[in-house]
Structure 1
Amino acid sequence: MSTQNPFSETPQAPQVPRASSGNSTGVVIGLVLAGGFFGLLVCGGILLALLLPAVQAAREAARRMQCSNNLKQIALAMHNYHEVYGSFPPAFTVDENGNRLHSWRTLILPFLEQQALYNQIDLSKPWDDPGNAAIAETQIAVYACPSTPLGNQTTYQVVVDSSSIFPGATPVSIQEITDGTSNTLLVIEAPPELAVPWMSPNDVDMDTFLTEVGRTHHTGGGNAALADGSIQFLSQDVDVALKTSMVTKAGQD
């Protein structure tokens, strides 16, 4: 008798290959790294948004300080001019017909370590005469507010008025400032749109000062030098009466 089993063996189910644990770990690590990178980007963006205003404020504070230092040097040059000539420089010089020639900014150049440049200027001819025009294009750092870089133009001006330290072509001495040098404006910072070439014999008048000055690129106002050489920040919200009293040299106010 045959001993062969007439029934075939039950076939085994096919084995499904398992994913290797190494591949699973790699996927998880990749997802974690991607999520972490995305989180860093989000956090970095938020941090940048928070820090940017602070950085900008710090930069503006530095520019405002440099502007203040510029005016300090200009005021010192004014006083050194006064020691030599017995008065502050006039707002402008004129020819025999009363035509404006040169600015006070030109006259104080030797006291700003710009003697060589000053020597090249023909003071008998207008500032914009062809012989002087090339010099007028020179950029002088102390005449440039870092918040308002305007090439050869400047926003540092005086207030030209019969009641101020700068009535025009007539120089004024400290003895004439009976309101007190610590109460009287010497040089102010004009709005950028009122900037003039530094050699130009033009500055703001009283009406312009009362209505426009204080609107600078500094937040809230602009710097100003007083006749005693000190520097103050002039708020754009100062009322007209106080502004007027700050300009007048002998208003008893």
Structure 2
Amino acid sequence: MTDPLDFGPEVPQEPPKGGRSWTRFVLECGAAVFAILFLIALLLPAQRNVREAGPRIQCKNNLKQLGMAIHSYYEVYGSLPPAYTVDANGKPLHSWRTLLLPSLGEIALYRTIDLSKPWNDPANELAFKTALPTFQCPSANISPTQTTYMAMVGEDFCFHPTRGRTFSEIKDGMSNTVMIFETDSDHAVHWMSPDDGDPKWFLSFSEKNPISHKGGIQMTLMDGSVRMFDVASPVAIREALMTIAGGETVGEF
């Protein structure tokens, strides 16, 4: 007697074409997509770091060039350039940046400038309209003729307002004294302007300021070296780096 529940011999299921089930195919596609997305997630920060590193290196090279130009100026004149030149009435005329032009290989441009007239006088229009990349950080969101590179100006700082300063006055050490520092884009000035803002900005800047580099600013020390200065650095270290003869202990920075 035939068992009513016996449906006959089991018929093997034919595998799908290509040897894979649809479920397996979907899982493999999903894994591939996940792997691609994972690789993209890994690569994006690296690409961002590369994009940030290029301008930061160029900015460092600019500041290094300025440091070398200042030392070259010193060899010729026996002192640093004054922060600015003045007229007979003491009115500022031209910045230290203008005085450095010959040391930066910009002799032809320097010769077009009438130093007896203010930096923004019509007689100095050619230089006024000239953009000099050496004075500008590539990451700074400013116009081509502006700069965020400022001298540390003051009676107790590297650049004396109106006269050249000698190395012998740098009592705190050449590697512990700031010569040039980056400010933020809000405080940028024309590169010819005899204005370096308030050096006290250096004491209080933070990530909240529109600085050009994530985490800090770059600065040129008196020995010509360029360092990145962290936004988290304490005020005591900032004060010590600013002065030329304060006698402070700088420590690590």
TM-score with structure 2 setting the length:
0.81
2:57 and 2:216 mapped to 1: Cα distance? 13
Match of 2:104 in 1: 112
Pairwise mapping of residues 1-253 of structure 1 onto structure 2 (< 5 A)?
43-148=35-140, 150=142, 151-212=144-205, 215=209, 216-253=211-248
Bigger mean CA deviation after superposition, 209-218 or 88-97: 209-218
RMSD value over aligned CA atoms?
A: 2.5
Match of 1:21 in 2: none
Mark the runs of 5 or more structure 1 residues left unpaired by the alignment: 1-23
1:251 and 1:92 mapped to 2: Cα distance? 24
Q: What amino acid is aligned across from residue 217 of structure 2 in structure 1? A: G
Shift of 1:156: 0.8
Does the aligned pair in 2 maintain the 1:187–1:225 contact within 8 Å?
yes
Aligned residues: 230
Secondary structure of 1:87's partner?
coil
**CA separation of 1:139/1:37 partners in 2, compared to 1, >3 Å: closer, same or farther?**
farther
2:24 and 2:138 mapped to 1: Cα distance? 48
**CA separation of 1:138/1:40 partners in 2, compared to 1, >3 Å: closer, same or farther?**
farther
Does the aligned pair in 2 maintain the 1:155–1:196 contact within 8 Å?
yes
Shift of 1:209: 2.2
Q: What amino acid is aligned across from residue 218 of structure 1 in structure 2? A: H
Listed one character per residue, the Cα deviations across residues 86-114 of structure 1 (whole Å, up to 9, x for unaligned) are 10001111111111111100100111111
Shift of 1:188: 0.6
Q: What amino acid is aligned across from residue 176 of structure 2 in structure 1? A: N
Secondary structure of 2:220's partner?
strand
Based on CA coordinates, which of the two structures has the bigger radius of gyration? 1
Q: What amino acid is aligned across from residue 143 of structure 1 in structure 2? A: F
**CA separation of 1:213/1:188 partners in 2, compared to 1, >3 Å: closer, same or farther?**
farther
Q: What amino acid is aligned across from residue 206 of structure 1 in structure 2? A: P
Q: Tell me the percent identity.
A: 43
Shift of 1:47: 2.6
Secondary structure of 1:93's partner?
strand
Does the aligned pair in 2 maintain the 1:105–1:199 contact within 8 Å?
yes
Secondary structure of 1:52's partner?
helix
1:35 and 1:211 mapped to 2: Cα distance? 55
Shift of 1:134: 3.5
2:119 and 2:215 mapped to 1: Cα distance? 34
